[in-house]
């Protein structure tokens, strides 16, 4: 598939690299001509090489891809029926990842390709109202291969590429196959992370959810249907996050999401704890409360019993403690932070989830985790102190490809 994509991206390169040698036509010579449009973008791309900082060049290359390709037309064709199920934030995230993917491949091919080894011959162009087709012969090693560029004039009158073919290889067909294959096994955030080659998967950042409401696509157990859900999305300095303030409800909310644990073995998240349920101790059933807790759900035994590692902010236990209470489906709890020292601070944590499974449940973890969960609870301690509360904020839950982090498990403690 990668070789197919490389060939398809060469479609752009051939269109871009013919500037000095392609035959010019006398009619329609202004920049409303699709042929001239492609040439002008090549000139702009090459002018960036030595005249801009690395960051500025990256941004300008992204803008070139944005202007040269009709991404808003390509994206729905690539993911098809799934497109309508995405909210506006998810659609924008996918478009950005697709743009990043095309830019990265362009950079790779422009670095590795030598224009002098190719011969590009302009054949013809066909323009019918707002549609245009550009055809070239690309002579590689004495073999002529047809290059076809398909362009569409948008509402602003700009010509943009909607697909390309190099011989039998179609860029649109490649991306459709690539995305369809990943989405059959993993979730959309995983596809977006892979497509953009970001190095992380955005498991949840709450940006797609509405302020003042429960986060979108998060659910809870049927037994909690009638309970108050002590969670709502808030916004601070333009950033959305999840606020949890439990007065005894003790409701776990969860999100189904699948990613490749082998490729992304690390997890990160950040939280800000305001109040802890004082005196709580995760080892004992009568004190089993945590100011903040994030579950990483690895699999479900017998189809319904999960195996989870839960990172918690404990009221009393030392950082690095790990424990498992008796009972079916109980999570291994690992203390990521503890006490009152850092209350009111946003704190970021990174752990090796692969190793956390090995050091708790033991053995090799499953390749595909199935979800994440959140719980702030103070219900047990309220039986002792009616004013007990667990109050915390959550944000930026991610799976990472690379990190300098361990499992977080330092010592295993006995629990009831």
pLDDT tens-digit readout, 338-385? 999 999 999 999 999 999 999 999 999 999 999 999 999 999 999 999
For the chain, the first-to-last Cα distance in angstroms comes to 52
Phi, psi of 100, deg, nearest 5: -65, -40
Q: 2-196, what's its fold?
A: Nuclear Transport Factor 2; Chain: A, (3.10.450)
Instruction: Report, at the CATH architecture level, how domain 200-412 is classified.
Output: Sandwich (2.60)
pLDDT tens-digit readout, 210-231? 999 999 999 999 999 999 999 9
**List of the chain residues with pLDDT < 50:** 14, 17-30, 115-116
Q: At what angle do helices 2-17 and 88-112 cross, to 10 degrees?
A: 70
8 Å CB contact between 9 and 111: no
What are the residue boundaries of the structural domains of the chain, listed by start? 2-196, 200-412
Name the burial class of residue 3, with classes exposed (0-12), middle (13-18) and buried (19+) by CB atoms within 10 angstroms of its CB: exposed
Q: How far is CA 45 from the centre of its chain?
A: 27
pLDDT value of position 137: 86
pLDDT value of position 299: 84
């Amino acid at each position: 598939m990668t070789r197919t994509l490389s060939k398809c991206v060469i479609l752009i390169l051939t269109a871009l690299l013919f500037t000095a040698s392609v035959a010019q036509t006398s009619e329609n010579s202004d920049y409303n001509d699709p042929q001239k449009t492609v040439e002008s973008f090549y000139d702009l791309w090459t002018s960036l090489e030595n005249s801009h900082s690395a960051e500025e060049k990256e941004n300008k290359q992204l803008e070139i891809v944005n202007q040269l390709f009709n991404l808003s037309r390509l994206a729905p064709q690539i993911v098809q029926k799934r497109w309508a199920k995405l909210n506006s934030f998810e659609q924008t995230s996918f478009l950005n990842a697709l743009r990043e993917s095309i830019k990265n491949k362009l950079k790779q091919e422009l670095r590795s390709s030598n224009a002098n080894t190719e011969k590009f011959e302009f054949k013809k162009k066909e323009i019918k109202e707002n549609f245009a087709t550009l055809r070239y012969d690309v002579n590689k090693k004495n073999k002529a291969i047809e290059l076809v560029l398909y362009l569409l004039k948008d509402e602003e009158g700009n010509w943009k590429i909607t697909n390309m073919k190099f011989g039998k290889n179609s860029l649109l067909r490649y991306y459709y196959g690539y995305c369809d294959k990943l989405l059959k096994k993993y979730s959309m955030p995983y596809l977006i992370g892979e497509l953009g080659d970001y190095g992380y998967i955005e498991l949840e950042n709450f940006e797609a959810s509405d302020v003042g409401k429960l986060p979108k696509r998060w659910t809870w157990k049927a037994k909690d249907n009638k309970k108050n859900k002590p969670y709502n999305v808030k916004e601070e300095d333009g950033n959305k996050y999840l606020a949890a303030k439990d007065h005894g409800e003790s409701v776990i909310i969860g999100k189904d999401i699948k990613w490749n644990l082998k490729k992304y073995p690390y997890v990160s998240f950040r939280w800000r704890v305001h109040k802890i349920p004082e005196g709580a101790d995760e080892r004992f059933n009568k004190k089993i409360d945590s100011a903040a807790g994030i579950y990483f759900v690895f699999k479900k035994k017998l189809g319904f019993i999960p195996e989870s590692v839960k990172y918690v902010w404990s009221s009393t236990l030392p950082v690095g403690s790990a424990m498992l209470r008796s009972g079916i489906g109980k999570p291994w709890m690992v203390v990521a932070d503890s006490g009152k020292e850092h209350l009111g601070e946003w704190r970021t944590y990174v752990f090796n989830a692969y190793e956390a499974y090995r050091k708790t449940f033991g053995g090799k973890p499953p390749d595909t985790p199935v979800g994440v969960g959140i719980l702030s609870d103070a219900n047990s301690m309220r039986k002792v102190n009616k004013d007990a509360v667990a109050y915390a904020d959550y944000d930026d839950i991610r799976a990472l490809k690379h990190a300098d982090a361990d499992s977080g498990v330092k010592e295993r403690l006995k629990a009831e």
